[in-house]
Structure 1
Amino acid sequence: MRIAVVASLVMSLFTSPSYGNPVSQGFADTFADPAVIRGLDGYWYSYGTSDPLREGEGEHHRLPIARSSDLVTWTYAGDAFGADNLPPYADPSSLLWAPDVRYLDGRYVMYFTVTNTTATPHPWDFSIGAATAPTPTGPWTHQSAPLVPPRPSGDSYWNTIDPAQFTDIDGRKYLYFGGFFGGLWVTELSPDGLGTVGQPTQVAIDNKFEGSYVVRHDGFYYLLASSANCCAGPTTGYSVLAGRATSPRGPFTDREGVPLLASRAGGTPVLDQNGNKWIGTGHHAQLTDLAGQDWMLYHAIDRADPFLDDPYGINERPMLLDRLDWIDGWPVVRAGAGPSERSDEKPVTRGFVNEPFSGGLSGWRDTDGWTVQDGFVRHAGARATLESRKGVGGDVRAETDLRFAGQAAGLRIGAATVLVSGDGLTVTAGGARRTAALPGGAATWRNLAVTVKGRTINAEVTSARLGDPQASMRLDSPVPLSGAFGLVAEGAADFDNVSATPLAKPVTRPAPVPRPGALLDADEFDRPDGAWQWVRQDPAARVSGGALRWPVQGSDLVGEANTASVLLRTPPPGDYVAETKVTLDLGEDTVRNYQQAGLVAYVSDDDFARLSQVAIWNTRQVEYGRELPFAARLSYGGNIVGPPAKTTWLRLAHHVDPVSGEHEFRAGSSRDGRTWTWGGVWTFGKNTSPRIGLVAHGGAQPAVEAEFDYVRFYRSR
């Protein structure tokens, strides 16, 4: 165990204890829709949507690129394309959005949205483009035609946007794309990743998701996607939701088993705003650090500074980084705590073995037959091991980029040997041996990552460390695994970016969520209660049969009309949880805009947060919307909570921030009154006194009645 202790001490020399968000602040004020990849040179590269990088700059960067050695300090590395370098099929007015970059078969491939093509006269005939490059910074060469061309829908075009590539365990390549208008889709790609195969499959319903990203974890395929609005300034409620499946084509369902394709669409929260400065947290990419901890890069909006320049222009969406945990089989940022302003931990990007082979072979033994050239180490002889002068012990994670022209190449970790060959991925320890198929071998660079926890070895091979292993294997070793660490080559092989570091300890306990305590106040709607007050009383609302029955009004609160009725109650002082149970038959699949009923935290007609089950085109959602005055206008945006049922339970958990004095309201929803999904937080100023109320509005046709069983206030625990 002494080796592991020494390794931990060495690691502390390389790791500063904290960093601040946004991590893009050193080179950009806005860097939206970030993609990420680790290059073969050992640096991480991020790619953003085409926007000006700084306030006052005025000129768009065409898919800007940033570089980092530690994932928290980034520098500008140029643009993927110059001002006159558009794809040949793009209209001169076209914008390039939402890049995704992968390393496929020896070259980097970039996928991106092209907003306007020359194929049609429509100004927003979205398509997916592709370009290739020998390095992460280019030079990038456009393909001559769109990978996914515009898809017509009547007089308009589906949102063919936000591409994300994924390679499966069998070597097949896929591309996920789509948005609110048209839904999310997946299409198989040709082996080179530059053509489509067959017909696409829809994987998530329209009008709820965009910005998809897929990873494979513990045998499941996880589709993570952003929901609600990306760009509503101070009321942006963007968030990330997830579903999982046993096939890359779905069907994807959430934690409660609700399909992402259902009209009452599912989605398990991964990332939501939490009441600090950051709102609109979404459109993400994922990565794994050298210790095996997953992280999420995403954009967000500072609610005090939501626009790049003038109000209601470009939304200022800098890039943030936070830990991504897996709890009870589901991904969640910071165990559910949401975005950080400052983190007390940072990714591990250097190990006690950290070898980019830029300084020769001084840290290694038995170097005969091994040479350093072009920044990597090469072996050209028969079977040999290049042994590090630093051994391994305890729980550890090791990795290397490798390619070979001989029989096999891999890592030795104590008594275990992990080899990549033309036959696949083979793990051997103490006489035990297991092999998994690896499509395509490793004639081009691949990444081999091996974790040792106790006597359990997990190994996987990927193209670029982005959650899509092409081979994975687990072996329980019959012997201890501490000891020597080194590179193993059977014939000609190249190695680069070799590391070994103590294995990250996973976070398994979720962050606390609001819990109701003692009952403080309630109206069960079984007798007259004089504590309610009306704003624009609706005579059609009535109490009968133990419920408040309220026909949905053909009116609304959003905007300046303010014609909808609101039934208000003064809440208890301090922290509390307000709850109601509302039955509202909105049907399924048909368009019923925007009938809804639920709770509201209300200061005025122009300053409220509304939590309701609502019909949004063909979907049924639990939307947590916010309206407030900003820069001489009214701003409205929404956050999405859990999937609704015909009868849905809703909660607003109120908390007063002890530092700022702001009122924070976190939204929760349930389909059965027992299992709760908690979403985002909207805040109100410290000098306000929000009341809690009920609403039933958004559209009178077809006629439907909301039925509220009760309103209860609990002390918050």
Structure 2
Amino acid sequence: MKRLTRATAVLAAAVVPLLAGAATPALAAPPLVDRATFTNPVSKSFADTFADPSLIRGLDGWWYAYGTSDPLREGDDPDEPAQIPIARSHDLATWTYVGEAFSSSNRPSWATADAGLWAPDIRYVDGQYRLYYVVTQTTLFAGENDNAIGMATAPTPAGPWTDSGAPIVEPRPGDNAAQDPNDFKWNFDPSTVTDGGKQYLFYGSYYGGVFVQQLGTNGRSRVGTPTQVGIDNKFEGAYAVHRDGYWYLFASTANCCAGPTTGYSVQVGRSKKITGPYVDAQGVSLTASRTGGTPVLNQNGNRWIGAGHNAVATDLAGRDWIVYHALDRADPYLNGTDGINQRPMLIDRLDWVKGWPVVRAGRGPSTGQQQGPATGGRWSTAFDSGVPARWQTTGTWSEETSTPTGGYVSADKAGSLLTAKVGGSARVEADLRSSGTAYGLSLRAGSSTVRVRVDPQAGTLRLQQQRPGQKTRTSTSDLPDSFSADAWHAVALEVRDGSATAEISNARLGDPISTADLDLRGSTKKVDRAGAVAEGAGVDVDNLSALPAAKPVTKLAATPVPDRLDRSASDTFSGSTLDPAWSWVRQDAKATLGGGRLTWPTEAGDLNGTGNDAGVLLRSPGEGPWTIETKLTIDLGTDDVRNYQQAGLVAYVDDDQFVRLDHVAIFNTRQTEFGHETPYAGRVVNGGTIVGPPARTTWLRITHRVDPANGEHELRGWTSRDGKTWVKGGVWTLPAGSDVKVGLVSQGGVGATAEFSYFRLYR
């Protein structure tokens, strides 16, 4: 131990690639950067593909990202993937490669030699970093594809990693395992959170569904019975965060890896309880057959498609950011025109509007230069060179160092660290621990002092406001019985718009251990000082920051929807014959008019692929922006397995170039699928993205505009369960100069009947 010295800004050392299992070198503190700019993909400096990203801010002050095992660069040997690659960044914008989590020396012994290691999830709990991941093939069963979930631990985010020695979630034989030894349900995409001091694991995928289950205290075993929170055949990539009294379950949907027609996207449901049930903004459950899910992230017509499998992080100003992978539709494969999909890592702002998350106010993935997260700046320090000279101190502090943290400071007796003036609303954060002494954070705004106090002895988190001559106002919540004061925890305090919020968490990943809120009295518009407080010796402080609090986005970005009805281009189906403006591609004689509707039994044929044997009813929409809409009733039922009866709208160039918006049966689910087919590299490819939840009667819309920059037709899908509240889906494009016709389809297999109440075109 040495006495406190004062220093100015800390310079970062170069990153040395880390060999898996090797000793971890000491890392310098990150540079003091306020808000960098970035251009997606942010992984371009070290990897062409970095799928299924997960991230954490380490105790050393750096951000670390982890990806699925793939070759990192175009041209790399596909048989020699990086085994869970790791990168780090000081600002979430500029990333440097660190190394691989695994090698032959520490690879899970229960994984076969050819097993993939996928979808890592990183957490920090009780003094150790925990990395959860998928093993695609184990030594536990003779059959293939017996996937399982493992866990490894390390003292630092970079390693060295030690596998737990056995699966956390063992292979689950499938429904047909007795006849097929290779039939296993998908134990994919682990993600863990803390709730009430207990650890929970989300896992699962399309085959088998998504589940949540409590973990034992060491994170290596499961407790009790799993609860299904996402229906099979729709969701994977679960990731949960807690906000304003709700757990929000982010989950990816559609095909992750369909090359230029990848429609992967992220939807969300929320619940008061970690175990659900999770419902979307329409009140529809994520386990219902007519499956719920509110879109959070989907493609918008720019270069990025298939945006999904996300993680969420909060910057030092309190703003959330979503990290995910996506495909460049002009370069969707890692090598050539087939094989491994190239899925680099992207980051964008995550806003919360009227209680629901959206990316960039609903704009979706970004291109071009963007303002980055708040990750440092003048009033941020990792203490690697003591307390910077500009910080004001009281009490006595000593410098310390450790492998996981680098430098930090420790209180020798009651004392505090304070910044200079912050101004305006403010957020102060720090990593803190103690030998039992109470500690916390403090903000001084005018005559008020707002403080969050962690009291290990009382087992409480207390948020209070003190004003001269006024009674102290207090909000108190309990810490869990499992709380260990001597382990590092992240504490945050924010004052904004007459209220204060405080939380303590393991690693600021949206799963707080305890929270408190307080309405404030008097003026708190200008925060004078903010910092950390120790009530006695034995309190350690690291990664202290005091920044202006981020201004929340409260409105969705406008999405133009042409809404002037063109009666001459619409049809109420009130006659006995079709309007002559309609024309058929492969007329279906079973489509009939009567009772003010077009009744059309689903055909055995399908437009998808090369068969092209389904009928298409078409008309011309004319030039310029337009909206087409229909009200569709179809008797697909619920819960039973049906494939793939569907009906809906189509925007059609020819049999191999179209988009369609259908209510479709996919195994036990009923979904609204916005599909796309197009020629590519000498073949026809197709895929789809998912919009909102359907009902027996569902309203469908496609909006159209021509991109003035490149002349492409941009088409966006929309769905509604009542004809009033619309859910906005993703965008597919058709080539510039295409003669686009619009109309209706009813296809995918016999056994259901579609009834179209009208066809409307708006300008």
Same fold (TM over 0.5): yes
**Residue aligning to 1:105:** 126
Secondary structure of the 2:346 match is strand
List per-residue Cα deviations over 1:469-491 (Å, max 9, x = no partner): 10111123335453333321122
Equivalence for 2:421: 391
**What's 1:5 paired with?**
none
Aligned partner of 2:533 in structure 1 is 488
Q: Which of 282, 294, 317 does residue 320 from structure 2 map onto? A: 294
Instruction: Give the alignment of 1:172-251 within 5 angstroms.
Output: 172-251=198-277
- Pick aligned residue for 1:162 from 182, 186, 189: 189
Segment drifting more, 87-96 vs 610-619? 87-96
- Larger deviation: 470-479 or 293-302? 470-479
Structure 1 partner of 2:140: 119
Deviation digits for residues 433-453 of structure 1, max 9, x if unmatched? 232112204210000011011
Query: Residues 83 and 638 of structure 1: is their aligned pair in 2 closer, same or farther, counting only changes over 3 Å?
Result: farther
Deviation at 1:692, TM superposition (A): 0.6
Match of 2:553 in 1: 507
Equivalent residue in structure 1 for 2:364, among 326, 338, 348: 338
**Does the 8 Å contact 1:516/1:714 carry over to 2?**
yes
- What's the CA shift string for 1:318-345, capped at 9, x where partnerless? 0000000000100110111010012432
State how 1:355-370 maps to structure 2 within 5 Å.
Answer: 355-361=381-387, 362-366=389-393, 368-370=395-397
**For residues 378 and 242 of structure 1, do their structure 2 counterparts lie closer, same or farther at Cα, with a shift above 3 Å needed?**
same
CA distance in 2, matches of 1:678, 1:499: 38
Identity %: 53
Contact 1:108 1:136 (8 Å CA) reproduced: yes
| Counterpart-to-counterpart distance in 2, 1:17 and 1:147 | 39
Give the structure 2 partner of residue 325 of structure 1.
351
Q: What residue is the counterpart of 2:6 in the other structure?
A: none
- Which residue pairs with 2:678 in the alignment? 628
Question: CA shift at 1:84, angstroms?
Answer: 5.4
Which residue does 1:462 correspond to in 2? 505
Q: CA deviation at 1:405?
A: 0.6
Q: Which amino acid is 1:404 matched to? A: S
Letter in 1 for 2:486: A
Listed as ranges, the gaps of 5+ residues in structure 1 are 1-12
What letter matches 1:429 in structure 2?
Answer: Q
Task: For 2:251 and 2:223, locate their aligned partners in 1 and report how far apart those are by CA, in whole Å.
Answer: 23
> In structure 2, how many angstroms separate the alpha carbons of the residues matched to 1:159 and 1:98?
13
In structure 1, C-alpha distance between the alignment counterparts of 2:529 and 2:671, rounded to whole Å: 55
Distance 2:105 2:36 in 1: 43
Distance in 2 of aligned mates of 1:368 and 1:674: 62
Q: CA deviation at 1:16?
A: 5.6
CA deviation after TM superposition for structure 1 residue 369, in Å = 2.1
In the alignment, which residue of structure 1 is the partner of 2:759? 711
Q: CA deviation at 1:705?
A: 1.4
Residues 662 and 37 (structure 1), Cα distance of their counterparts in 2 relative to 1, 3 Å cut: same
Contact in 2 for aligned 1:424/1:441 (Cα 8 Å): no
The 1-side partners of 2:37 and 2:156 are apart by: 31
Deviates more, 1:461-470 or 1:451-460: 451-460
Q: Quick check: 1:571 aligned with 2:621?
A: yes
Distance 1:34 1:381 in 2: 40
SS at match of 2:260: helix
Change in CA separation of 1:17 and 1:173 when aligned onto 2, cut-off 3 Å = closer
Partner of 1:178, secondary structure, is strand
The residue number in structure 2 matching 1:522 is 570
CA contact (8 A) 2:386 2:409 kept: no
Tell me the distance in 2 between the aligned counterparts of 1:486 and 1:243: 36
| In structure 1, C-alpha distance between the alignment counterparts of 2:652 and 2:199, rounded to whole Å | 49
State yes or no: 1:262 paired with 2:280.
Answer: no
Task: Give 1:455 shift.
Answer: 3.6
Give yes or no for contact 2:120–2:189 (8 Å, CA) kept in 1: yes
With over 3 angstroms needed to count, the CA separation of the structure-2 counterparts of 1:198 and 1:569, relative to structure 1, is same
Q: Is 1:475 the equivalent of 2:518?
A: yes
**1:40 CA displacement:** 0.3
Q: Which residue of 2 aligns with 1:50?
A: 69
Query: Are the aligned partners of 1:420 and 1:441 in contact in 2 as well (CA < 8 Å)?
Result: no
CA distance in 1, matches of 2:97, 2:585: 53
For 1:424, the equivalent position in structure 2 comes to 460
State whether residues 36 and 91 of structure 2, in contact with CA within 8 Å, keep that contact through their aligned partners in structure 1: no
From the superposition, tell whether residues 34 and 485 of structure 1 become closer, same or farther in structure 2 (CA, over 3 Å). Answer: same
**Structure 1 stretch displaced more, 409-418 or 611-620:** 409-418
Q: Does 1:637 align with 2:687?
A: yes
2:268 and 2:407 mapped to 1: Cα distance? 39
The amino acid of 1:81's aligned partner reads F
Equivalent-residue separation in structure 2 for 1:180 and 1:637 (angstroms):
16
**Paired residue type of 1:147:** I
Match of 1:280 in 2: 306
> Is structure 2 residue 55 aligned with structure 1 residue 36?
yes
Q: Secondary structure at the match of 1:335?
A: helix
Alpha-carbon distance, 1:123 to partner: 1.5
> Can you list the C-alpha shifts for 1:656-696, whole angstroms capped at 9, x where unaligned?
00011000000001111111101000001102111112111
> Among 22, 45, 68, which residue is 2:89 paired with?
68
Contact 1:571 1:691 in 2 (8 A): yes
Paired residue for 1:587?
Answer: 637
Contact 1:599 1:692 in 2 (8 A): yes
- Normalization by structure 1: what TM-score? 0.96
Distance 2:688 2:143 in 1: 29
C-alpha contact 1:290 1:351 (8 A) present in aligned 2: no
Task: Indicate the residue corresponding to 1:661 in structure 2.
Answer: 711
* Counterparts of 2:424 and 2:661, CA distance in 1: 49
TM-score relative to the length of structure 2: 0.90
The residue type equivalent to 2:45 in the other structure is G
Amino acid across the alignment from 1:385: S
SS at match of 1:253: coil
Q: Distance in 1 between matches of 2:85 and 2:393?
A: 44
Quick check: 1:15–1:346 contact (8 Å CA) kept in 2? no
Partner of 1:128: 149
Give secondary structure in 2 for the equivalent of 1:234. helix
Q: Which residue of 1 aligns with 2:8?
A: none
By how many angstroms is 1:66 displaced? Answer: 0.6
d(CA) in 1 for partners of 2:378, 2:519: 25
Q: Distance between the aligned counterparts of 1:366 and 1:650, measured in 2?
A: 62
Structure 1 residue 367, shift from structure 2 partner: 5.2
Asked whether the equivalents of residues 513 and 678 of structure 1 are also in contact (C-alpha less than 8 Å), the reply is no
**Does the CA-based 8 Å contact 2:36-2:373 persist in structure 1?**
no
For the pair 1:555 / 2:596, whether they are aligned, the reply is: no
* Aligned counterpart in structure 2 of residue 403 of structure 1, from 421, 424, 433: 433
Q: Which is worse superposed, 30-39 or 484-493? A: 484-493
What amino acid is aligned across from residue 647 of structure 1 in structure 2? T
Cα deviation, 1:494-519, whole Å, max 9, x if unaligned, reads: 10110011110000111223434211
SS at structure 1 position matched to 2:374? coil
The whole-number CA distance in structure 1 between the counterparts of 2:734 and 2:348 is 26
Aligned twin of 1:696: 746
**Superposed displacement of residue 635, structure 1:** 0.9
Moved more, 424-433 or 58-67: 424-433
2:112 and 2:172 map into 1 onto residues whose CA distance is 16
Partner of 2:485: 442
Relative to structure 2, which stretch is displaced further, 202-211 or 379-388? 379-388
Query: For structure 1, which segment, 336-345 or 109-118, has the greater mean C-alpha deviation from structure 2 after superposition?
Result: 336-345
With 49-58 and 411-420 compared, the bigger mean Cα shift is at: 411-420
For residue 9 of structure 1, what is the aligned residue in structure 2? none
Query: What is the letter of the counterpart of residue 436 of structure 1?
Result: S
C-alpha spacing 1:167/1:16, structure 2 compared with 1 (3 Å)? closer
User: Aligned letter for 2:427?
Assistant: R
- Paired residue secondary structure (2:428): strand
The alpha-carbon distance between structure 1 residues 559 and 378, as it changes in their structure 2 partners (threshold 3 A), is: same
Assess if the C-alpha contact under 8 Å between 1:649 and 1:671 holds in 2: yes
- Distance, in Å, in 1 between the alignment partners of 2:259 and 2:135 is 24
Matches of 1:186 and 1:230 in 2, distance apart? 22
The Cα of 1:567 is off from its aligned counterpart by 0.8
SS at match of 2:647: strand
* Partner in structure 2 of residue 137 of structure 1: 158
